[in-house]
Structure 1
Amino acid sequence: MRAVRPPVQRSSEERIDAALAAGQIDSETALLYKVFAAFGDCRLPASLAGDAGPLMDSMIIAEVRARFSQLSAATKATLQPFLLAPGVHGSWVELESNCYNRRFAKGSLGVEVTPTVDWITISAENAKATVRYRKDRPEDAGRAQVMKQALDRSWTKLTGFFQTEPVEDTGAEFGDLGDGRIDIYLTPIEEPGQRETVGGVFHSAGCGSSTGYITMNTALPDSDLDDRLRIAHELTHAITASFGGGACDDYRWLTEATGVWGEHFVYPEIFTRRGASSFLSDPNLPLETRNGIHEYGAYLFLFFLELGLPQPSLIRLIWENSKQADSLVNIDGVLNAEQWGGFQKVWPMFVRYNWNQEPVDDYHRWDPLPTAFALTARETLNTKINSDEKSAEAVDSPKQPLHHLSAQYFRLRPFMNGSSVLFLNGWTFKADKNAVDIDFQPVAYTSVPLDDSKKTDTIQVEALEKVNGKWTKHVNASHWTDKSFVAYCRDRSDERLEELVIIVSNSEFRDRNKTYEPGQYPLVLFESNIACGEWQGVAQMDWNWDEGALLTQKAVNLSWKRVSAEAAQMPYKNGTAVLGYDFVASGTIAWSGHGAVEPPCCTASGDGTVDAAQKSLMTTFNFLPIGSSLYRRYSGAAGATPPPMVPVSCQCDPPVTEPPIPLFTWWVATTEDEQRPLIGNDGKMMQGQIGTVLKFTWNFTASGPQ
């Protein structure tokens, strides 16, 4: 069954974008409303207020500055206070429409300002920054001291890592105190618990290399978002803004991802994994998706670069090259330049780490906090135990397309405790069911290469296997992109599959509108109770001659063992059809022949043994689906080459010489109507008898787990 997720909460930005897409508001109004949402302005319509919980920050002012010249005069006037730092008279903190101010003063929804807010300034010791809090909020003094200490620690670690500092704070609109330091303002922005709340924001002067200021929302309790993490996050923004990349447009997701990564880099001991749960719970969203929370969880990609490859310098190199307009092209270029093979090699590795449960525990080892987070994989859909209760089939349906830089996960378990399990890969092959060209034209699972129009090198299929109680280490994950199918014989300890995790990834990044559509059967897991390890038993041939002779061949200590761990298959078009398993016999065949033969004056008489393995083959059709003409059947024949020869002696007058009688076959599994015999209901018994004059009888039993 498919895992059920809780209702998805939506940020203000998502609600505003939805209203814009529906034609309820225009683009300029949408921009204005996003500013109101970010700054806690009560002119934001209640219907557009988000419920996604505390947000870390917003990059909206950089977008406002980029679009400002194209806005109407009325919108420019409304937005002008939001372009000023809180320390500048007439800024947004003094607006009567500010939701915090509304709690203390009644008034209209105009934009008249309240008296100027006065500030107390604390300078950091090691950082080129100041912390400023309002005189009318002495309760923020303690938090200001904590943030100053956090600023010193964050500055040292982050500027050391990125090998650069934020652009100096210059310009009257940013409240510059003449010292070039970045200013951090502590001010209440909106009441938590009423609606979505912004935690902290780096307000950039523009989308290129630019300065700015930082606000910290003290209406949000430190218990909701630790002030130290907020400082690390916003200072990371100030530093990455110095590289000249686009804080707007295509780098917004990476800006937030890097901010959260910066939190862990500076404060691993209190890191809260912000956004990780959302990111992992919806792996079919592309890496660069922005929905108010996914972009924060995308820090896991940087986390992986730092500790998984491990190559932490890649993060700095990506930002040093951020003048490349396309963030994904930039990342791929850096990964290629540093010999990591671009997204094509790195993306499948990353999404494997994102499984984040057995046997993948790297995130927990790197970030050993007690709070666990794990991805919710899609369980196999449409699992159906067939009506005869002897086989079952699980098919991924309804299938889902795979977006660029995304993944899908499937957790598969044998659901009947059957012996034979077949996995069919319909992602990088065309998997289907078709009649094949052998006797009775049975329907079989078939797999052929994809048409040229469907072939791509961006789709990768990997498997994590739990066999006989042990998971394979995920660094040794099985790469199944080039495998059309994989079969398991669970009667053998080294193939006793208990759980299978299939990870399908798409490393496409250039065409963001391109999705990959799998075929009719993206994946199939077929299971049967037909045994597959080893068969043991007896077989006998009796040939009764009218003249009285009896020729026999009897298997002694007979066993059938698999030819190969690979499933038996046959060509189908330019691909293959999967049938079951091939077995060869071992043991000894005792033969004898005694009695009169034609002519009556001749007698057959002789005994001997031959090796049962000579010219023996048995095929069990373990993997044919229900309804197939050879479903649960088997076929085979066995004889010796050269065959045993029963001597014939004659006492005839006149004398005659008769050649010895060859015993070509000691076992044939074909019924009188030429159908193949059935395997027993429990999948562990094969027995039968055919013929009268030339009679074959047998009784084989599965030997059990090995």
Structure 2
Amino acid sequence: MSFGANGLKQLTATDSVSSTLTCSQQVMVEPLVHYLMGPPADANVGVPTSVTPRAAGEPCAEASLPSCYARARENKSSRAMQARSQFCWSICAALLLGACSSGGGGSSNPTLDGGTTPADSGTPAPSDGGTPADGGDQFGSGPDPVPDPTGNPTSYNLIDAAQTAGTISEEQALLYKLYVGFADPALPAAYQGDDTGIIEVDGHEQVVAYLDRVGLANVPAATLDSFWPFFVPAYYQGSWWHQLHPAAQLAGGAVPAAANPNCRAWESSCPLLADWKNVAGTHVVVWYLTANEIVDAPRANILLQEFENTIWPKLTTLMGRTPLSDAGTGLVSETDGRLDILLVDLPKNMEGQTATSTLGKCKAVPAHIYLNRNLGYQGMIAQAAHEFMHAIEFSYDVASSCVKDYYTTLEATAVWATNYVYPTNDWEHKYAKSYLGNIALAYDDKGAPPLFRYGAYLLPLFLESRFGSAIVKEIWDKTLVYSGELIAIDSALGGRGSSFSQEWPRFVAANWNRDAIAGNNYLHLDRVADVPGLESDDTFQMPAAGLGSLTNPVSLPHASSAYYRVTFGDAASRSVLVVNGLSFMADALDLTGSGNMMTFTGLEVVQRSGASMQAYLKVNGAWQSAPLDISNAMGFMFCRDDPAGNVEQIVFMYGNAEISTTLPNYPALVPRAKPPGVLVTNIGCRDWTGSLSMTKPLHSGQETLTVSNIVLKNQLPTAAPLPGSDPTTYPLPVGTTNQISLGFGFVYANASGTAVWSYNDTTGSGSSTCTYAGGKTFSIASTTPKYQFSNWTPPGTAAHGVNLLGVLDATLSSQLSYVETCTGSPATTVIAGTQLDVAVLIFDPATRISTTGLSLSGTGAQTTDPLHA
């Protein structure tokens, strides 16, 4: 390879110094406010002057009521007496609701003839029905205090494992799961797992789904008989509760009579139990145990008011439907068609259950609700909204076999309903981390940790922020048509002019919930402080060779996401190429015979379906306002020597929005060749300065060209790209014949420089000689790109090399001339130009960028003399 010069002096990159600023994140923790029963100290509390006896021979001690209220109000002003105050208010409320009412606080015989009405107990009720203005925070605010699951095998895990091993049958496994839901001591010890943090179980849904699958006629009668009591509401003879409490008595008789726990409500009518009382409203009936009356009667009244005034109207208006009535159905739960809510002791941390009222159907079916009576008021109303949403969901005649087939949506929208009804209650906040901590799992993954689908309420919450609360109804309406929950979501979004594939990357970006995003996303608006986990959190340090990379080995199932963070740990990491190896096939190939370069090949639509890649940048100590979506870009480059390109951190956000089970990316979205990430070199990427000196020997003299004060100016963008510059169309055709590269590195032109050329030679001898003399000083400034450095070149022969394709402009070099003077002849001006110039190729080992990345030097020898061969 020939050179146009035999000497090339050092070029030195102009270095810039940048400072790193750190930003701190402040997290505000909202205290949990414990609600104390009773009106404020300045409230005008009405005390009845007379009461109706509870029953003959049981007059109410009405004189005790004013003193009880007085003591409670007095105690309420003292923090030291808060516990006594709460207890005293409970006593007062119980006296009014139970002992002193003629049916409003629960009758001695729990008939539903004409219904009962809530008593005026003096217990607190939402002044406006719990409208969004108060959000239910009169009952406290803050996340559910239930402990996190331990990760140890749960009872369901042990039961499932035994069924898989063949130790128990599927039907036995289902019965054991029903035992778990109600702490039935019949559950063998071998299947009593660690159910810490399990707030709800779905044994009822699993049983009904099984029976729907195999058919009732194909299940032995004895098996059905073992299932049925768990579908009978607890206040009936023969219910699961009755079987656990065989001493229960019948209601309605003049003389207490023992109830038969083996009454078969699914075959014939079974009477109510005297152990239960209720308060009733227009739409719901709230049941509680007589034995718990002193505590549960006021709680039942609060629940009744919340259901009638807030929960029922808000959710039925939104969803355009009510829970199905059981009136006239002949089902075991049938009373008068109103929705039944029961306050019971549920095991461990379980907060509620919504049980369908028949074994025969698992969709379009009435239901009744159990709430854990041990919940505080805040949790009680939150879980009430949650379970009521389930009752509405079970009313849908969905396209799939059972409502439970919409596995994640079922719980996600029920948790969402808690926030919708009580926006400042925040009981649901605890579950967010169970989703954000497992974002690499598919949204509809049935094998996810127990609270994952509860935390998945973040998706309907996000979609609400985009399209309003009606989007939740629209999603459920689409379940009438589509059997897949993700397809139903996608179809609902289609009605809003969007799609799952469009919204998923936005959801992934908003979920980062850190840095500048944390102050301007849907989670911030709802005061959620949880953040997603990172697949990796790496600091890049430049290797001694001046070239390195960090890759993200992404493998994403459908409807999942992942985050990778890269921090640049030193100033030597100057030139950075972000490589999109997810929606393009990226590889290091030699396309030109000059050495490897990063090469990108277009993928077919199905190969990149669902793929999204976003880059969130911290530049000069400040995070950009939003990530850059590069799903349709091969990548981008920036120069950290440029203050506007001084990227200190990158958060890569990957998503797989594929929802079609037949397409290749549904099981997993993976890179086709090299994974996405960053390729980094230490090569300076702003202006370069230096000088060149070239000498060509002639017959007895020489030609020289010296270029001093050269400034090579970068002709490509060096700043970090800004949000909003996201490409919207895919740029490459499909296939290897359309491979394209971003090149070896940044491209430069002569910004300035002064060239001094001289030509001196003598030929001949004696009386026949000729002399040649000439010289010129001129500027070499030009905007024509001439040089390419290897700023983002992968390992290979081209790494740390340069293409120098001529310092002199062709026009300038052709105008150089010298004067020829020969013996006996007049002087003649010869415009000969010059052949002195630089012609260095990027793979030339004699001319390399130094290992520091800041200088370029080398020498070359010309192999021929073009003028005087």
Q: TM-score, normalised by structure 1?
A: 0.84
Contact 2:776 2:816 in 1 (8 A): no
How many pairs align?
A: 651
Shift of 1:227: 0.7
Aligned pair partner of 2:770 in 601, 606, 611: 601
Residue 13 in structure 1 maps to residue 156 in structure 2? yes
Aligned pair partner of 1:228 in 358, 381, 388: 381
Residue 681 in structure 1 maps to residue 859 in structure 2? no
Residue 87 in structure 1 maps to residue 255 in structure 2? no
- 1:317-356 → structure 2 map (5 Å cutoff): 317-324=474-481, 325-340=483-498, 342-356=499-513
User: Which residue of the partner structure matches residue 672 of structure 2?
Assistant: 519
Listed one character per residue, the Cα deviations across residues 540-561 of structure 1 (whole Å, up to 9, x for unaligned) are 3334434335533323x42111
Residue 506 in structure 1 maps to residue 686 in structure 2? no
* Structure possessing the higher radius of gyration over alpha carbons: 2
- 1:28-47 → structure 2 map (5 Å cutoff): 28-47=171-190
User: Which residue of the partner structure matches residue 240 of structure 1?
Assistant: 393
User: Which residue of the partner structure matches residue 282 of structure 1?
Assistant: 438
Q: Alpha carbons of 1:674 and 1:433: their partners in 2 closer, same or farther (altered >3 Å)?
A: closer
Residue 198 in structure 1 maps to residue 350 in structure 2? yes
Shift of 1:436: 4.3
Shift of 1:130: 1.6
In proportion to residue count, which structure has more strand?
1
Contact 2:149 2:198 in 1 (8 A): no
What secondary structure sits across from 1:430 in the alignment? Answer: strand
- 5+ residue gaps, structure 1, are 99-110, 696-706
Contact 1:355 1:374 in 2 (8 A): yes
Q: 2:802 corresponds to which letter in structure 1?
A: Y
Aligned pair partner of 1:552 in 697, 701, 705: 705
Contact 2:773 2:819 in 1 (8 A): yes
Q: Alpha carbons of 1:242 and 1:564: their partners in 2 closer, same or farther (altered >3 Å)?
A: same
Shift of 1:677: 1.8
Shift of 1:508: 1.7
Residue 633 in structure 1 maps to residue 801 in structure 2? yes
User: Which residue of the partner structure matches residue 563 of structure 2?
Assistant: 409
Contact 1:592 1:646 in 2 (8 A): no
User: Which residue of the partner structure matches residue 524 of structure 2?
Assistant: 365
Shift of 1:656: 7.6
Matches of 1:597 and 1:123, distance apart in 2: 121
What secondary structure sits across from 1:44 in the alignment? Answer: coil
Larger RCO, structures 1/2 (Cα 8 Å, 6+ apart) = 2
What secondary structure sits across from 1:285 in the alignment? Answer: coil
Shift of 1:654: 4.9
Matches of 2:149 and 2:299, distance apart in 1: 35
Matches of 2:515 and 2:409, distance apart in 1: 29
User: Which residue of the partner structure matches residue 169 of structure 2?
Assistant: 26
Q: 2:692 corresponds to which letter in structure 1?
A: A
Residue 488 in structure 1 maps to residue 638 in structure 2? yes
Residue 585 in structure 1 maps to residue 750 in structure 2? yes
Matches of 1:322 and 1:276, distance apart in 2: 25
Residue 145 in structure 1 maps to residue 317 in structure 2? no
What secondary structure sits across from 1:438 in the alignment? Answer: coil
Matches of 1:668 and 1:506, distance apart in 2: 47
Shift of 1:345: 1.6
User: Which residue of the partner structure matches residue 102 of structure 2?
Assistant: none
Q: Alpha carbons of 1:57 and 1:25: their partners in 2 closer, same or farther (altered >3 Å)?
A: same
Matches of 1:527 and 1:248, distance apart in 2: 51
User: Which residue of the partner structure matches residue 103 of structure 1?
Assistant: none
Q: 2:695 corresponds to which letter in structure 1?
A: D
Q: 1:226 corresponds to which letter in structure 2?
A: G
For the aligned residue pairs, the C-alpha RMSD in angstroms reads 3.3
User: Which residue of the partner structure matches residue 420 of structure 2?
Assistant: 265
What secondary structure sits across from 1:346 in the alignment? Answer: helix
Shift of 1:499: 1.7
Aligned pair partner of 1:659 in 821, 824, 830: 830
User: Which residue of the partner structure matches residue 578 of structure 2?
Assistant: 423
Q: 1:679 corresponds to which letter in structure 2?
A: I
Matches of 1:518 and 1:389, distance apart in 2: 27
Shift of 1:331: 2.0
Listed one character per residue, the Cα deviations across residues 191-239 of structure 1 (whole Å, up to 9, x for unaligned) are x2xxxx4211111234222222111122x4438x811111111111122
Contact 1:59 1:252 in 2 (8 A): no
Matches of 2:746 and 2:577, distance apart in 1: 11
Q: Alpha carbons of 1:117 and 1:669: their partners in 2 closer, same or farther (altered >3 Å)?
A: farther
Shift of 1:281: 1.2
Q: 1:368 corresponds to which letter in structure 2?
A: R
Shift of 1:85: 0.4
Q: 1:404 corresponds to which letter in structure 2?
A: H
Shift of 1:478: 2.1
Q: Alpha carbons of 1:692 and 1:253: their partners in 2 closer, same or farther (altered >3 Å)?
A: closer
Matches of 2:737 and 2:846, distance apart in 1: 25
Listed one character per residue, the Cα deviations across residues 16-43 of structure 1 (whole Å, up to 9, x for unaligned) are 3343334343321222122112222123
Listed one character per residue, the Cα deviations across residues 496-524 of structure 1 (whole Å, up to 9, x for unaligned) are 21222222222221207633332342213
Structure 1 window deviating more from structure 2 (413-422 vs 260-269): it is: 413-422
Q: Alpha carbons of 1:566 and 1:434: their partners in 2 closer, same or farther (altered >3 Å)?
A: farther
Listed one character per residue, the Cα deviations across residues 226-283 of structure 1 (whole Å, up to 9, x for unaligned) are 1111111111112232333365342232221111001001112121324211111111
Shift of 1:615: 6.1
Q: Alpha carbons of 1:387 and 1:674: their partners in 2 closer, same or farther (altered >3 Å)?
A: closer
Matches of 2:154 and 2:306, distance apart in 1: 28
Matches of 2:434 and 2:598, distance apart in 1: 37
Residue 472 in structure 1 maps to residue 635 in structure 2? no
What secondary structure sits across from 2:636 in the alignment? Answer: strand
